[in-house]
């Protein structure tokens, strides 16, 4: 009953380092999403993938790249981390348009 | 564009008090509306949803009614418990954009 699994749960990086956050879902969902959560700002969409093989920018895509590796996996990459990217990152997936999103437990990322 | 506005928190209540968290939205068409809850250190979980006007979503003693005339989806619970302490997010899904739009979240603290 795994649902949406994110790895790692915590990470500390130095400015300029690169990092890939992993996300996998075992619910055969079509759409997957990456959000960041910052105090007082709710969740902001970074990128999403409506289906395998497609990706689209969300509200705050700058400084990030994504890969929809297959139907199960959707990774988020920071090529050159900046302190402004310190946040909690959530991956989510959804079966279809009218279905709710299911969230992972998050990755807490600190960039020094 | 589409947006969601929630009342600012934190909301602090005594156990067994009545809870209302206000949520209003701006959207074209007929969005689906959701309330998500986030417990400390966890991801977001769907609490309830409503997909059309006058629908009432309910779960775990929480209720919210989709009011198109006032573009609102206020969350209510008749008697809160300490275990309800969490952050609550109102969200809308507009099919044209294929993604959820979240409010900023409202922190609820319930003390014995």
The model's pLDDT over B28-75, given as tens digits with 9 standing for 90+, comes to 888 899 999 999 888 899 999 999 999 999 999 999 999 999 999 999
The pLDDT assigned to B29 comes to 81
Pairs of CB atoms within 8 A across A/B: 48
- Which site among B1, B38, B43 would you substitute to test the A interface, given the most A Cβ atoms closer than 10 Å to its Cβ? B43
Contact A97 B51 (CB under 8 A): no
Residue A9 confidence class, pLDDT cut points 50, 70, 90: very high
The rounded distance, in Å, linking the Cα atoms of B35 and B20 is 13
Give B5-64 as a 3 state SS string: EECCCCEEEECCCCEEECEEEECCCCCEEEEEEECCCCCEEEEEEECCCCCEEEECCEEE
Which chain A residues touch B89 with a CB distance below 8 Å?
42-43
Q: Say if residue B95's pLDDT is above 70.
A: no
The pLDDT assigned to B97 comes to 58
The pLDDT assigned to B39 comes to 93
The model's pLDDT over A11-24, given as tens digits with 9 standing for 90+, comes to 999 999 999 999 99
The model's pLDDT over A23-82, given as tens digits with 9 standing for 90+, comes to 999 999 999 999 999 987 788 999 999 889 899 999 899 999 999 989 999 999 999 999
Contact criterion met (CB below 8 Å) for A104 and B43: yes
The pLDDT assigned to B72 comes to 97
């Amino acid at each position: 009953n795994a649902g949406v699994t994110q790895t790692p749960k915590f990470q500390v990086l130095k400015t300029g380092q690169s990092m890939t956050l992993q996300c996998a879902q075992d619910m055969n969902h079509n759409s997957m999403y990456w959000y960041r959560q910052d105090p007082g700002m709710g969740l902001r969409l970074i990128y999403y993938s409506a289906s395998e093989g497609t990706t689209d920018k969300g509200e705050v895509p700058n400084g990030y790249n994504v890969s929809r590796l297959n139907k199960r996996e959707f990774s988020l990459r920071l090529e050159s981390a900046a302190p402004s990217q310190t946040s909690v990152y959530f991956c989510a997936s959804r079966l279809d348009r009218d279905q709710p999103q299911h969230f992972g437990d998050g990755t807490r990322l600190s960039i020094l | 564009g589409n947006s969601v506005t929630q009342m600012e928190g934190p909301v602090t209540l005594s156990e067994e008090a009545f809870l209302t968290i206000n949520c209003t939205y701006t959207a074209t068409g007929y969005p689906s509306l959701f309330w998500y809850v986030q417990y400390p250190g966890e991801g977001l979980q769907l609490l309830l949803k409503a997909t059309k006007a006058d629908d009432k979503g309910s779960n775990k003693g929480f209720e919210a009614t989709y009011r198109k005339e006032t573009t609102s989806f206020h969350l209510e619970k008749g008697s809160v418990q300490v275990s309800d302490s969490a952050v609550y997010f109102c969200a809308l899904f507009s099919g044209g954009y294929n993604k959820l739009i979240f409010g900023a979240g409202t922190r609820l603290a319930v003390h014995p």
